[in-house]
Amino acid sequence: MADRIAELADQMTLDEKVSILSGEDFWSVPAVPRLGIGKLRVTDGPNGARGGGSLIGGVKSASFPVGIALGATWNVDLVKEIGAALADEVKSKGAHMLLAPTVNIHRSVTNGRNFECYSEDPILSGELAVAYIVGLQGQGIGATVKHFVGNESEIERTTISSEIDERSLREIYLIPFEWAVKKADTWGVMSSYNRLNGTFTSEHNWLLTSVLRQEWGYDGIVMSDWFGSHSTAETVNAGLDLEMPGPPRDRGQKLIDAVNSGAVSQDTLHERVINMLRLMERVGSLDDHSEWQERAHDRPEHSALIRRAGAEAAVLLKNNGALPLNGDGSIAVIGPNAKIAQIMGGGSAQLNAHYRISPWQGLVSALGEDRLRYAPGCTNHRFEPVLRGQFKVEYFANETLAGEPAHVASQDEAQAFWIGHIADGKVDPLHFSARLTGSYTPETSGTHRVGIYSAGFAKVFVDGKLIADAWTNWQKGRTFFEEGCDEVVGTVELQAGRAHEVVIEFATKAFATLGLAAFAAGIGKPLGDDAIAEAVRVARNADTAIVFIGRNGEWDTEGSDLPSIDLPGRQNELVAAIANANPNTIVVLQTGGPVEMPWIGSVAALIQAWYPGQEAGNAIADVLTGVAEPSGRLPQTFPVRWADNPAHSQDREVYPGVEGKVRYEEGIFVGYRHYDRLGMTPLFPFGFGLGYARFAVSDLTVDDTEFEAEGSVMVGLSVTNTSDRDGAAVVQLYVSDDIASDPRPAKELKAFRKVQLKAGESRQITMTLDARAFAFYRVQAKHWLVEDGRFTLRVGLSSVDLPLTATVERKTTLMLPV
């Protein structure tokens, strides 16, 4: 095939070569019909395959557990299985490549995109990424590991410079990408939006050429994040193969001119083309001339996998005997997430799921509705609930709603995300206006809140009166990937049972970085003291109270960091009130990361359920009832308070950033390394999780015969299920450099193994540590170094539960290449 690729490249004209180095549209790279080269199509991931539709609506897709949930499984075999299943999903959408996995590190507990990433630890992240990629690419679908590198915050993410020293890059942030290249042979890498130490990653020669290609031997492609290219010759020369999306902004004729002027050499252009053709051959698009067809293929086997994975991701954080549920007593089902299925985070990872099972539905299926009583208690939404119903949409080929509509359509909700081809192509997607007309019939009378936020100008009229105005004084905010304004809210008196006319007017505006138009409008009636009082009454009259709280994809979303890790709204107050009314109170928490828990001492049990995909309610019910074992373990430390997190600082340049820079001052001391360094006790430590089954580790053995010569060590131990239930233990192996010449963490995770054991079963396992497990990076010398001296190996079931220890010792140093 190499000969064929070389021949095709030699036959291509300059125009044809340039054409495949940028997108044709939002989701595809153009074909070259003259040479029989097919079109390459990509789709967003990582927790599903959305296809070529909008972030809102579109062809339905399977929704899998989000990244942090997969991180909580600590199960490489399961993640590999999910990768293979996602390949089927990508094929259903007529695509060849999935824009996944996301492997950025949980530096801060407030990163809006933490839900999409695996862990605060690079080894856990790296090994899960490898499994995901191997599963996906084993079915012929290309992976695109992202975002390379330093995208650990969503604040000013398209322009900010992540200031990261090289040692921290090498030991923390680059590891998952390095593993993806060296261990999984990923076919795609996506550059991040941000700058790295002053230079956009999409034109960073050291990152894309020196490290990625020369040091790691990468032979796949590097594509930009969408609109993440900012130059022509600079990106091509640095190693960026593909500008996305299309039509091109920095390439096309600009690249032809750069080649003709000598700013980009023929050799460099040829290398980029070869990389693209090699990718097309690997994913099968080179000879794919089929018509693009997207199918909503709801596979029962994928639903079963999602349910199993969602349950395995659940982390039991506290249990005073309240779980699993037993007996036939009455259950109060309370909270804002009880009847609303929170299945995914927001941003480019969101999709139109085949269905959504709420916790209420899951419990009804498992226990029957007769045992259940419901009360919402409070709300937790960031924005007013999106208005659902039939809307007439009139599109105008101008930005003033003038004249006759160019196109008329309908939609069933008051939100839209317009990109690429819209209104049957009758308006310019970046220069148009629209009027939506519909109605809202409230269930109760009284004061209602009307909210609107938009990437563009927008107004909401109710019964002909302007209620919410995001047009007149529009200001950039934290919505729609930082292209939108914050929500503007007005109030209006509405009557129950009456259909009130709602009209929404929208017009595009100049964009900052991402070329899109979008809005969302909602109407809601606030819940007050009476709602909490009713929830308390329901809880007091039940044998057990289960409170479903947390956040949703409005909070945990791309394009916006969290303002804090407090639970939104009055949820803390709700939990405290319910726990006071019923001592048998169980909390089910759904978030994309840690929250502060002032009520933790008063509840009987706590489960962290994350966003587990479309089977959310069934998976949660399986864990609550004991049908499934909660074998998840925390992939991120939960601090007692936000201020304990390593990125929290009085110096705003450390976080969230100042004057275009965010400085990673903590260096290598991220996550549990930080808490160890300060001797600080977190609320729940990294790697922690209880279960219905119980486990013990014993009989540690160490084979260090190759340690002096090769730097490798074999570790063996026995794992025993000491309970009368089947279950799974996550065995964790940490390494400490007892006396190091450079500052090093007190311990670092270097290997782990998830072990399924039947009740009473015991099994011997082995884990291998290579030389890199003992090494740190020396920046000036440009190599990894294993020092002479003693290293301590610590083995156990969490980062603070490490009962087994042993030491190994070297007499000489060992230098390892990059």
CA-CA distances (angstroms) from residue 567 to 522, 544, 783?
A: 21, 23, 44
List the structure tokens of 603: 């509840």
Do 777 and 170 form a contact (C-beta atoms < 8 A)? yes
Q: In a 3-state reduction of DSSP, which class is residue 186?
A: coil
* Count of beta carbons in the 10 Å neighbourhood of residue 3: 7
First CA to last CA distance, the chain: 30
CA dist., res. 107 & res. 791, Å (int): 27
DSSP 567: P
Compute CA 652 distance to the chain's CA centroid, rounded to the nearest angstrom: 25
Place of tokens 């096309």: 252
Pull the structure tokens for residue 354. 């085949």
Query: Closest Cα to residue 17, out of 198, 272, 348?
Result: 272
In a 10 Å sphere around its CB, with 0-12 CB exposed, 13-18 middle and 19+ buried, how is residue 571 labelled?
A: buried
Tokens of residue 460, six digits: 């909401």
Catalytic residue among 44, 225, 556, 737: 225
Secondary structure class of 237 (helix, strand, coil)? helix
- CB of 607 within 8 A of CB of 634? no
Q: How far, CA to CA in Å, does 681 sit from each of 111, 504, 686, 744?
A: 22, 51, 11, 19
Tell me the residue ranges of DSSP E strands in 53-208: 97-99, 142-148, 161-163, 188-191, 195-196, 199-200
Which residues are paired to 243 by β-bridges?
A: 22
Q: Does residue 225 have an active-site annotation?
A: yes
Q: How far apart are CA 46 and CA 642, in angstroms?
A: 28
Pairing assessment for the beta strands 789-796 and 804-810 based on DSSP bridges: antiparallel
Mutual orientation of helices 266-283 and 2-11 as an angle, nearest 10°? 130
Catalytic residue list = 225
